[in-house]
Amino acid sequence: MNNRSNLRKMTELAIFITIILVMKITGLSSIPVGPLVMTFTMVPIAIGAMLLGPAEGAVLGFVYGLTSLYDAMTGASAMTGFFFQISPVHTIILCVVVRTLVGFLTGLCFKALKKIDKKKIWCYYAGGLMAPMFNTILFMGYIVLVFYKTEFVQNLVSKVGAANPFMFIILVVGIQGMIEWLTGLVAGGTVAKAVAHALKRDN
């Protein structure tokens, strides 16, 4: 019975990994917005982390992180490509480690919220929101921590007129971040709740 359960979880994890890769290949994963990209990959990561658990959420975040690192190494992303030229190690942490942590934290926090929300009314929506929220906070936070003094970031600081690192994050992320958070909240929460109910995992 345990082997069957593990096989099922591995199969489901493989499905989510495939979804992330297909979204990347088809261009459905993100939309370029200024120096950043509006990413929708956090939706399947959030759903997978909620349905499968923190470890599986970390795997999904890791896979997405590898695609992000690929963009940095090939120059497909202007910003992370610039960062990679400055520090490959910090760029790997930014693209891969941070995204892995996003998936893990989403799954971990959802487990805690699921115990609080006895009727399972809002925990899935909170979980759907957490992935893009953690991604924004950790990704931009690491940029400010490590790359804030670089020419690329300082040009952005001057362009948006940010008085400090906190305002820089707010002004650069802006509406794009709100759309990502809202998409995660609505799409991620709704789909995860529906699938959990269909698979009888909402108890």
Does any domain span residue 171?
yes
Per-residue pLDDT of the chain (203 residues; tens, 9 = 90+): 577 778 888 999 999 999 999 999 988 777 766 666 678 899 999 999 999 999 999 999 999 999 999 999 999 888 999 999 999 999 999 999 999 999 999 999 999 999 999 888 899 999 999 999 999 999 999 999 999 999 999 998 998 888 899 999 988 888 778 888 999 999 999 999 998 888 777 66
Domain count within the chain: 1
Domain with residue 47: its CATH number is: 1.10.1760.20
Does any domain span residue 110?
yes
Range of the domain at 129: 2-25+35-197
Residue 73, pLDDT score: 96
β-strand partners of 45: none
Does any domain span residue 30?
no
Does any domain span residue 123?
yes
Given its phi and psi angles, is residue 174 left (phi above 0), alpha (psi -120 to 50 degrees) or beta?
left
Residue 33: which H helix or E strand, with range? Answer: strand 30-33
Does any domain span residue 7?
yes
Does any domain span residue 21?
yes
Residue 36: which H helix or E strand, with range? Answer: strand 36-39
Does any domain span residue 202?
no
In the chain, where does DSSP find H-type helix? 2-26, 42-52, 54-74, 78-86, 88-92, 98-116, 123-142, 151-160, 165-183, 189-198
Does any domain span residue 102?
yes
Instruction: Report the alpha-carbon distance of residue 134 to residue 170 in Å, rounded.
Output: 14
